[in-house]
Structure 1
């Protein structure tokens, strides 16, 4: 965000201003490089962090127990506030910041965004010791490879016409057969 702000603010990083009806000088290669690098870095940063926010936040609550309802309620409250604040932020960015960039200056609009990002990074760094860090268990590629191997083995498998011939683990103690995890009934759809 700082690169985009600098490209909109510093005269050396943007094309010279021009009057309406007069030929405008195009941006130089270095000006384009700074601006588009900043835009791409913002996109990569948002894409990398936004996918992690939800799961990281979910790990901060104690709701593993069926008896611990306060953890589930706190998590539900957190996510309600998270989405409410995200929507207000998008509304503000789409209205107020656009007005600032249009009527005042592009540099100020990007500077406001960059300052909010800086405040968020400082808050994250200051509160990092309080976070619950759950170490990753195993490799994510292992599950992907298991699915691909199972698919390759079963791609030509024929499904029996009679649903009673399907393999079900009746009587086997299966942790997935918790009351919340009901078995799906067999249907003729997607045959």
Structure 2
């Protein structure tokens, strides 16, 4: 509701009363700011929607100390990893967890080797997201499984001519034996 919304609810008998218009405008702006605060308080109840104040409340509840320079998204992911319910880890659940945390990576399991491969493109994942993935794997992966994080680098092709040459150097050492009588004549 904005300040103009209160004017829409004004009764007909106040139609030409200037004081009532001004009163409703003033009260409308106060009501709008109160409504914004109320709305943000509601959003702070959900980790995925909370602002920095809401995240700091969650951090204090779970005794998480934020690192200096962490972004709001990184702090939000840290809180999420601490409060996730103990649920059996499955491939589908782990990939869904990565999507929930807005990490563009895919988990692939090699069952015979007991190994999990996390595959991501370098353009889609940041260094802090890689740290988050590593934390998740350390928390949720069973102790008898290995993990490997593969980050695909950007590829490019070069259509230039490449000349390759080959040269060789030969060094010959030789020795001739001479008779001393040939020099004295």
Q: Which has the higher helix share?
A: 1
Specify the structure having the higher radius of gyration (Cα): 2
Q: Normalising by structure 1, report the TM-score.
A: 0.25
**Which one has more relative contact order, counting CA pairs under 8 Å at least 6 apart?**
1
Q: Which has the higher strand share?
A: 2
TM-score (norm 2): 0.26
